[in-house]
Amino acid sequence: NAGVTQTPKFQVLKTGQSMTLQCAQDMNHNSMYWYRQDPGMGLRLIYYSASEGTTDKGEVPNGYNVSRLNKREFSLRLESAAPSQTSVYFCASSEDGGAGDTQYFGPGTRLTVL
Amino acid sequence: GNSVTQMEGPVTLSEEAFLTINCTYTATGYPSLFWYVQYPGEGLQLLLKATKADDKGSNKGFEATYRKETTSFHLEKGSVQVSDSAVYFCALHSGSARQLTFGSGTQLTVLP
């Protein structure tokens, strides 16, 4: 049981390049999330998917797109990377997104945009 | 909107010292409250949670009580260990918002 897995672990991009961050969970969870973590700011939600086939914007969606490929996988795409997107990105999943639901986090992707 | 204010760090303690990390919140409705911990180089993992007023969450010697009257959820541990060194995040989840709102995190270092 791997939980939530993310690839890659590290990535360096040049301004304007594109890339996709991959996330998969094996807990049969309905809800999945993408957060970014910046120093002194906690985690901020980029996008989430309440269930397969749906996606919604979070607090900081600009510059990102997402795809809920199936129940297991939720990818995050940067179409034209900017230095402001240098951050650590975490994917998470939860059973149904309800108020008391525990979110389970992946190990993170550290992205640097030059 | 929802917000979480957490005690700023970093916090440095000696082994076996008492730990308190303050957390207060603003939320609509009746949120659930969480403490997550992040060890170096890892993702966040749930430490404890409480889903209604006066509930106490506890795990690994850590405790926090959901105080609706003071809108607080302070984290405490009676005797910290070096292995408790990590970043601690307070968070809330309001069902209507369908997302976690995090505090800024508190870095704890425990010295032997």
For residue range B5-45, list pLDDT tens digits in order.
Answer: 998 889 999 999 999 999 999 988 889 999 999 998 888 99
Amino acid letter, residue A86: T
Distance from CA of A43 to the nearest CA of B (A): 6
Question: Across all residues in chain A, what is the average pLDDT?
Answer: 93
pLDDT of B18: 97
First to last CA, chain B: 41
Which residues of chain A approach chain B closer than 8 Å at the C-beta?
A: 4, 31, 33, 40-45, 48, 50, 56, 58-59, 90, 92, 97-108
Distance from CA of B78 to the nearest CA of A (A): 25
**Eight-class DSSP state of A85:** G
pLDDT tens digits for B50-80? 999 999 999 999 999 999 999 999 999 999 9
Please tell me the distance from the alpha carbon of residue A104 to that of residue A27, in angstroms, as a whole number: 10
Q: Per the CB < 8 Å rule, is A100 touching B46?
A: no
From chain A, the residues in CB contact with B94 under 8 A are 99
Q: Per the CB < 8 Å rule, is A45 touching B99?
A: yes
Q: How confident is the model at residue A63 (pLDDT cuts 50, 70, 90)?
A: very high
Chain centroid offset of residue A110 CA:
12
**Eight-class DSSP state of A41:** S
Compare A26 and A41 and report the one with higher pLDDT.
A26
Length of chain A: 114
pLDDT of A114: 96
Q: Per the CB < 8 Å rule, is A99 touching B43?
A: no
Closest residue to A99, CB basis, from B46, B94, B105: B94
The β-bridge partners of B47 are none
Contact predicate B23/B5, CB 8 Å: yes
Distance from CA of B96 to the nearest CA of A (A): 8
